[in-house]
Structure 1
């Protein structure tokens, strides 16, 4: 399966993360970024369809607004992927799939998907946090 903002990069299974939402559960995913380079997050449903694309540089058609996770009558597993360019928005720069670290906060059952775009390993370049409601 090809993915990313341009839907043309093979997904690296070592850089993918899964979010399982149980039947009847509702939630929201919130986004934040601390990066100089262009960042994006693409979320796919278990049929491989892109259901959300968020990111920096709104002029590129992406925003960092919350995404309301739809309530489903059955369990659903989302594939959460992070992407970056090694620079500002520029069509000639390729999208690169970012490394991910997943963390769970047991106090509120939130799950954070933290992405890294370079060698500093701070995993804060773009973050998506799922909060069950």
Structure 2
């Protein structure tokens, strides 16, 4: 599988053996991603090839560092300092739809109100003409 950051400055290729991913609800992942959880795919470090350049990294604690793109801000990795594995953010994969959550971690920090969103009202991007017109004016198409 392949993936990378929003601006394209950092790209990767990774050999995956299954489509299993997980959701991490810990406060560190919430803060690192700006979301109520982080969707992550764990892989062996040796399975990842950075095809453009290595991500920028910041020690997020004594036991881990986070990889990201300093140009566009995309969070890319969680990397335990004593692990042979690393976790790639599901949203950074080109075919993120292929990955499926199979479990939760850090549930002590889970926000219950965000647990089941299946019945909330939905809108497609094209249903918002003001957003569509801005994209058409600036890019000529609505991004993926």
TM range (shorter): under 0.3
**Larger Cα Rg: Structure 1 or Structure 2?**
2
| Higher relative helix content | 2
Q: TM-score, normalised by structure 1?
A: 0.27
Relative contact order (alpha carbons < 8 A, sep ≥ 6): 1 or 2 greater? Answer: 1
| Higher relative strand content | 1
